[in-house]
Chain A
Amino acid sequence: MRKLNVLKACIDLAFYLSCLTVLAFVLFIPFAILGQMDGIPIKMQGRELIIDNWQGKVVLVFAAVSALFFVYGIYLLRKTIGFFIKKDLFSAEVIRNFNVIGICVVTSTLLMVIPTFLYNAFYRTKMGFKLEVGFDSPLLVISLGLFFMVLSEVFKIAKNLKEENDLTL
C-alpha cells in the first residue's frame, strides 16, 4: 500500500495548490468584472480568454464555477483515499464520493468548454478544433469523469458481493 500513500501525498499537494488557485480567483474576479483587466489575455483551466466585453466576463464567471467544481472533486478524491487508507473500501460513502467526483469532473469540463467555445465562436469569430493529446483534451477529461461514475457502479456491485460473502456461513 506504499503507492496509496504516494497517491495521497500527490492528491494532498494538488488539493492545496488548487485551493490557492481558487483563492486567487476570488480575489481576481471582482477586478476582472469591474473592467480593470480588459484586453489582458488570461489562461484559465488550459483555455486562453481575452476579457474585453461583458460576455467575456460571463465566461470568466463560468470558468471560476468550473474551477470550484473541480476543486470539490479533488477534495472528495482526497477524502475517498482517506477511506482506502483506513481499509474501508466498500462503504456507501466511497460509492457516493466516486459518483459525485465523476459528476464534478464532467460538470467542470462542460462549464469551461461550452462557454469558451460559444464565446470564441460568436464574439471572437475564432472557431475550430484543436487536436490534443493528454489531460488538456476535454474529451479525455469527460471520459475520466464518466469512468469515476462507472467506478461508483462497480463499487456498488462489489459492496453487494462482499455483503453476500460476509453473510455466507
Chain B
Amino acid sequence: MPIIVNVDVMLATRKMRSNELAERIGMTTANLSILKTGKAKAIRFSTLEAICEVLECQPADILEYVKE
C-alpha cells in the first residue's frame, strides 16, 4: 500500500510507548499494532483526530504517500 503510517516515528520522537497512546486514544494495542504495521485498510477521522491530539502533530506527520 502506498500510504505509510508513521505513528511509530512520532511515538519515538515524543518518547511515548504504544500502550500509553492506545490507552489515551481509547484503542486496543492490537488495533494500534495493525495501524503501525500498515495492515489497516482505513482510518476514521475521529481516530486520526485523537492521535493528532495526543501526539500534538498534524495528520501529514502520521500519514505519508510513497509512490510504489
Contact = CB atoms under 8 A, between A and B. Distances in A.
B27 interface: yes
Contacts of B9: none
Interface of A: 163-164, 167-169
Given A168-B43, A169-B47, 4 more contacts: A169-B27, A169-B32, A169-B42, A169-B43
A167 B34 contact: yes
A167 to B, nearest CB: 4
Interface in B28-53: 31-32, 34-35, 39-44, 47
Contact of A167 (B27, B32, B40, B47): B40
A87 B21 CA distance: 33
7 closest Cβ pairs, A-B complex = A167-B41, A168-B42, A164-B41, A169-B40, A167-B40, A169-B31, A169-B35
A163 B32 CA distance: 16
Nearest to A166: B41
Contacts of A169: 27, 31-32, 34-35, 40, 42-44, 47
A90 to B, nearest CB: 15
Interface string B9-37: 00000000000000000010001101100
Contacts of B31: 169
20 contacts: A163-B41, A164-B41, A164-B42, A167-B34, A167-B39, A167-B40, A167-B41, A168-B40, A168-B41, A168-B42, A168-B43, A168-B44, A169-B27, A169-B31, A169-B34, A169-B35, A169-B40, A169-B43, A169-B44, A169-B47
Contacts of A167: 34, 39-42
Contacts of A164: 41-42
Nearest to B39: A167
Nearest to B47: A169
Most chain B beta-carbon neighbours within 10 Å: one of A163, A164, A168, A169: A169
A168 B45 CA distance: 11
A162 to B, nearest CB: 11
Contacts of B40: 167-169
Nearest to A163: B41
